[in-house]
C-alpha cells in the first residue's frame, strides 16, 4: 500500500494537505489533540485513496508549480466574486434596475475535466452569472447584463486555467 503512495508522492502529499486543511476548517480548533486526530485521519484517507486510485497509468502528476497556480487562481476568483457582488448590488439598488439579461454560447477550450468543472463552477459562483449547460466544448452562460455576459468570453480566470492545463501537457 505504501509503495503506491511512493509512486505518486506529490499527489499523496497534495491529498493529505487538502484533507488536513478541510479538517482544520471544520474543527475550528488548533488544540494539539484536534490536529493529531486530523493528521491521523488524513493519513489513513490518503493511504486508502492511494490504494484505490494510483496505478502506473492513473497518476495525479501534480507539481508544486500547479499548486501555486491553483492558489493564485482561487485568490483571483475571490477578488472576482467581490467585484461581481458590488456590481450586482449597484444594479439591484439602482431605482431604474438596469438589467439586460443575456445568454452567451461560447467554446470551452479546456480539455481536462477537472479544470472544466472548476471553470464552470467559478462562473456560477460569481454573482450575476450562471452556467446553464456544458456539453462537449460548448458552454452556455446566462448573465444579468449583456456586458457581463460578453465579459465571460474573455475572462482572466479562463486564461489562468489554460496556463494550468499547459503544465499538464508538458
- Pick 118 or 51 by higher pLDDT: 118
- On the question of pLDDT at 1 being above 80, the answer is no
Q: Percent of the chain at pLDDT above 90?
A: 25
Q: Is the overall model pTM greater than 0.75, yes or no?
A: no
For the stretch 58-78, pLDDT in tens is 556 667 787 788 889 999 999
- On the question of pLDDT at 40 being above 80, the answer is yes
Indicate the pLDDT class of residue 47, thresholds 50, 70 and 90. confident
Highest mean pLDDT among 29-33, 45-49, 78-82, 91-95 belongs to 78-82
The residues facing 141 across adjacent strands are 104, 131
For the stretch 122-156, pLDDT in tens is 999 999 999 999 888 899 999 998 888 778 877 88
Can you give the residue ranges of every domain in the chain? 2-53, 66-169
Can you tell me the distance from the alpha carbon of 40 to that of 120, in angstroms, rounded to the nearest whole number? 34
Can you tell me the distance from the alpha carbon of 168 to that of 164, in angstroms, rounded to the nearest whole number? 7
Q: How many CA atoms lie within 13 A of 159 on its CB side?
A: 7
- Pick 164 or 153 by higher pLDDT: 164
- On the question of pLDDT at 53 being above 80, the answer is no
Phi, psi angle pair for 155, to nearest 5°? -85, 140
**What average pLDDT does the segment 43-59 reach?**
70
Can you tell me the distance from the alpha carbon of 107 to that of 111, in angstroms, rounded to the nearest whole number? 11
- pLDDT confidence of residue 9: 73
- pLDDT confidence of residue 58: 55
Average pLDDT for the chain? 83
- pLDDT confidence of residue 83: 92
Amino acid at each position: 500500500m505504501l509503495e503506491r503512495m511512493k509512486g505518486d508522492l506529490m499527489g499523496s502529499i497534495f491529498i493529505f494537505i487538502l484533507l488536513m486543511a478541510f479538517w482544520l476548517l471544520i474543527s475550528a480548533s488548533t488544540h494539539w489533540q484536534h490536529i493529531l486526530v486530523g493528521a491521523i485521519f488524513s493519513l489513513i484517507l490518503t493511504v486508502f485513496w492511494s490504494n484505490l486510485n494510483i496505478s502506473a497509468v492513473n497518476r495525479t502528476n501534480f507539481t508544486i508549480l500547479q499548486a501555486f497556480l491553483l492558489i493564485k487562481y482561487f485568490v483571483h476568483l475571490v477578488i472576482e466574486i467581490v467585484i461581481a457582488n458590488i456590481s450586482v448590488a449597484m444594479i439591484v439598488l439602482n431605482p431604474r434596475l438596469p438589467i439586460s439579461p443575456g445568454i452567451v454560447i461560447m467554446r470551452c477550450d479546456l480539455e481536462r475535466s477537472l479544470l472544466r468543472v472548476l471553470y464552470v463552477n467559478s462562473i456560477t459562483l460569481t454573482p450575476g452569472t450562471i452556467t446553464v449547460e456544458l456539453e462537449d466544448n460548448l458552454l452556455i452562460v446566462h448573465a444579468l447584463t449583456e456586458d457581463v455576459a460578453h465579459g465571460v468570453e474573455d475572462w482572466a480566470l479562463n486564461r489562468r486555467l489554460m496556463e494550468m492545463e499547459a503544465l499538464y501537457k508538458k
